[in-house]
Amino acid sequence: MGPNAHSYCLLRARNSLPYVLRTIHQSHSKHTRDSGRRRVVVTGLGVVSPVGCNVEAAWQTILSGQSKVGRLVGETYDKLPCRVAATIDKNDIDLEKCFSKTELKTMARATAFALIAAKEALSSASWMPAVEDETACQRTGVAIGMGMVDLMDICETNEALKKGYNRVSPFFVPRILPNMPAGQLSIRYGFRGPNHAVSTACATGAHAIGDAFRFIQHGDADVMVCGGAEACISPLGIAGFCRLRALSTAFNDEPTASSRPFDERRDGFVMGEGSAIFVLEELQHALRRGAPIYGEILGYGLSGDASHLTAPREDGTGALLAMQRALADGGVTVADIGYVNAHATSTPIGDAIEARAIRTLFGEHTRSLAVSSTKGAHGHLLGAAGNLEALFVVMACRHGLLPPTVNLHNVTDDMAGLHYVANSSEPWEGKHRRRVALKNSFGFGGTNACLCIGEYSE
């Protein structure tokens, strides 16, 4: 065997599932949690979403098992294969009442959602340091991402340019930059710690929380305001995803049934919009000021599929690596996990691969594990998916209630063997001394993130 053939065989071996699993096991033993590192807790939460525009309202809607997916109205949508989406009810949030006309000219819709959610999160954390408090402002950072910019903003500006150069808004570029939710928030509150923006497709929100978690761990900040925002529902956005054959098209006349993760009738995801924002804080900093503590971020895992532009690896090793790395980073084992909040978007391929990865990782512990995806209720918020769903994980750990998967009625054989929380919430039962969960988020380009989130324990 020549050197090239030997290298090829070695590469094939390293890409095999048994090799990956052995490597995962070895890495877990090498990367146990350092008990001396800075602990990071959740002290504030805020949300703007199709299921509610404050934390309590959104949580109650999720527990009730309601779908908030509706019809897309308008002549331009009538010509498209998909005519459903989960949008923000204007009766809940009217941006023209929340911001001045001048302010709205400077920001995209997603940025506005992020600022509203951040206001709730900071209020719930009781963290509003005065600009004159140099230390507090310099030790507070921002990490907010966006998956896609508003495509209609670009189209409309292009039309304006055809009429004349002076018709182009001077705020056009700031409106479409993905880092502007973070930038606008930092400016508004005077936060001068890390100013970070993530854009990793549908893993954006989870990556933003995970990166903020690491910033605090490594001493770059004591407080991080983090999450994601998305508002790209438009005829062009819907058309683009339809051309990818990614969206649901079979339930246009029954919108509330269209997003159905893990169900045998699933035929694609449903687009959503909104934002969820976390306030993360170093534990001792939070305790010294008597901050409320909603939960704890225990670990963070990342991986790449290195496989396909839009489809996950068929063997699920990308998801496996992200989950295992989150466990190892958090110093916990599969036996400690009682719940997995799946990425499951309601696509035929993706849901099945994720279910396979979960079964493979948890093995004999699968029988004591609960799994659900809340996307059945609120659709897929793309860059704001991981953070919104992580918020529901924090609430599940805090209250001992498992959020359901809406529209889940029948599971195909390739996804059997897991306990899916279907249609109705369930109490978090089991012998776990502490409620600990995993939150998966995967994005186009093969980017994967997993957060390990736990009930706060002294």
Per DSSP, 51 falls in state T
Q: Which of 53, 82, 202, 450 is catalytic?
A: 202
Pairing of strands 436-443, 339-341: parallel
Are the C-beta atoms of 421 and 396 separated by less than 8 Å? Answer: no
Are the C-beta atoms of 421 and 323 separated by less than 8 Å? Answer: no
Please count the other Cβ atoms lying within 10 Å of the Cβ belonging to residue 237: 19
Amino acid letter, residue 5: A
> Which residues, including other chains, have CB under 8 Å from residue 200's CB and lie 6 or more apart?
145, 147, 207, 443, 445, 447, 449
242 counts as catalytic = no
Sheet holding 436-443, edge to edge: 195-196, 140-146, 223-230, 274-282, 40-48, 295-304, 447-454, 436-443, 339-341, 370-372, 419-420
Are the C-beta atoms of 114 and 229 separated by less than 8 Å? Answer: yes
Are the C-beta atoms of 145 and 449 separated by less than 8 Å? Answer: no
> Which residues, including other chains, have CB under 8 Å from residue 10's CB and lie 6 or more apart?
none
Return d(Cα 23, Cα 307) in angstroms, integer. Answer: 19
Q: Which two tokens stand for residue 120?
A: 């709730």
Question: What is the SS3 assignment for 13?
Answer: helix
Q: Which two tokens stand for residue 164?
A: 């004349």
Identify any residues that bridge with 272 across adjacent strands, giving them in sequence order: 86
Give residue 259's Cα distance to chain centre.
17
Are the C-beta atoms of 405 and 423 separated by less than 8 Å? Answer: yes
Identify any residues that bridge with 141 across adjacent strands, giving them in sequence order: 224
Give residue 360's Cα distance to chain centre.
23
Residues tagged active-site: 202
